[in-house]
Amino acid sequence: MRNAPTILHLDMDAFYAQAEQASKPSLRGKAVVVGGLGPRGVVATASYEARAFGVHSAMPMAQARRLAPNAAYLVPRFTFYRSISDQVMALLRALSPLVEPLSLDEAFVDLEAGGAAWDSESARLAGVRLRADIRAVTGLTGSVGLAASKMLAKIASEEAKPDGLVLIEPGTERALLGPMSVRTLPGVGPATGDHLRRAGITTVDELAEAGEDELVRLVGKAHGHGLYAMALARDDRPVVAEREAKSVSVEDTYDVDIHDRTRVELEVRRLAERCVRRLRGSGLSGRTIVLKVRRYDFSTLTRSETLRGPTDDPAVVREAAARLLDSVDTTGGVRLLGVGVSGLADFTQEDLFAQAAGEERGDGGEEEVPEEPAGEEPVPVEHRWRPGHDVVHAELGHGWVQGSGLGRVTVRFETPESAPGRVRTFRVDDPLLAPAEPLPLVRRRPEEEGAPRSPLPDRSPLPDRTVGSGTTG
């Protein structure tokens, strides 16, 4: 453990939903739910307004609709979210070379390694400046936790939500953790929490009082030792700089089980080509091809084949995935398919096309892969209009899809900088209407491009808090 709270944990607030509200003025202050909208869809993120109705991440979308029937339900725009994430991560890397991303909207930062902080006051100021910079660059808010360990920094950021900052002074960790629920600790999910509750352990203090031997008896050796250490606020894990990706994969879940074998084969081929596009977009190649099949009864099968060397050849990946599919019985129906490549490298062996069955048939040559965004496939015109996605009308300008069906699509015309816009309905094949790229949430004046930003005052509606010193910042 360190002597200063120089580990920072950033967690963007309801990231996907907040990004949608920022880009759509008519949704600001409203309940917004982002996720899969089909019968088997799940909630990816819910805005705080939607959470007030009990909606939360990983909830079945059908249940969310029952709880919040008047919320806006939108399909995720991952390319848009990633572009915002890239801006946020760039701000973090300006603070320190040691940035450990956990997801698009969450990361640890070692402030000491970058010289950005060395004591409580400098750490707090670094957190304040970071939150202000994130708001200035992206228009969004994030919550910051500062502590002497990763575990405590993450707990602090949870306490700071939404749009706040909490700093835990070294030496006060045990007193802070003691009355908290055991579910506060990393790795204690519903099952472990219920098991501990049945043993009479509900708080972190009770966890520590139980002792290491008792926890090992209750939850097993590895988990028991870890739980006891966390209960005593012991966490010496370092912040590890971003690791290289270990695999690249794509998968689709289908609203209706696929029974037709030919359709399954076509879906696997399509997924293989998507996977290769993503692989090439990252400048990578890989040796192991992986096929994932979830069947009608929820049983999940994984098959893999390792090649002689790394490849990014679409024919090789496609043929390997097809061979793997040959060993899987899909007669009962398929609800999910996925294709992935692991064993990644930043080079390709040129002679690997020999591993594709296509060469044995004398096809020869590398197949050209269309330049399309990863995950985007040509779809019938009536399915092009996904709720929440951007469109442009030749006469009315930029807008987003509110909904579609029965040959019609409803669009609200507004931009991040406009007032809430008007709504119009069109035929799905209207020649004046087309899909569009998302607009930036914050426009910078030309003279600001490339110029350093001055630190901005913290504009959070919530006060920053320092835990353990008796002060509030």
Residues 134, 142 contacting (CB under 8 angstroms): yes
Model confidence at 130, pLDDT cuts 50, 70, 90, reads very high
Q: What's the pLDDT at 298? A: 79
pLDDT at position 190, please? 79
Residue 151's pLDDT is 93
pLDDT tens track for 314-340? 888 999 999 999 888 898 899 999 999
pLDDT at 274 over 70: yes
Structure confidence at residue 453 (pLDDT): 41
Other beta carbons within 10 Å of 247:
15
Q: Does the pLDDT at position 364 exceed 50?
A: no
- 3-class SS of residue 425: strand
Measure the CA–CA gap between 93 and 247, rounded to whole angstroms. Answer: 24
Kindly report the average pLDDT of the chain as a whole number: 84
Model pLDDT, residue 372:
35
20, 49, 100, 106: the active-site residue: 106
Mean pLDDT of 401-414: 92
- For 162, phi and psi rounded to 5 degrees? -90, 150
Q: Is 366's pLDDT higher than 80? A: no
Instruction: Give the CA distances from residue 256 to residues 35, 38, 40, 333, 405, in Å, rounded to whole numbers and listed in that order.
Output: 17, 9, 9, 9, 18
pLDDT level of residue 436 (50, 70, 90 thresholds): very high
Active-site residue flag, 106: yes
3 state SS of 465? strand
Is the CB of residue 296 less than 8 Å from the CB of residue 334?
A: yes
Going by pLDDT thresholds of 50, 70 and 90, the confidence category of residue 355 is very low
The beta strands (E) that lie in 115-246 are given as 142-147, 165-168
Give the pLDDT score at 136: 95
Give the pLDDT confidence score for residue 255 in this predicted structure. 77
pLDDT value, residue 232 = 92
At residue 361, does pLDDT exceed 60? no
Q: What is the helix, strand, coil percentage profile of the chain, to 5?
A: 35, 25, 40
Strands (E), 274-396: 285-295, 300-311, 334-345, 390-393
- pTM of the predicted protein model: 0.72
Nearest residue to 239 via CA among 110, 144, 107, 111: 110
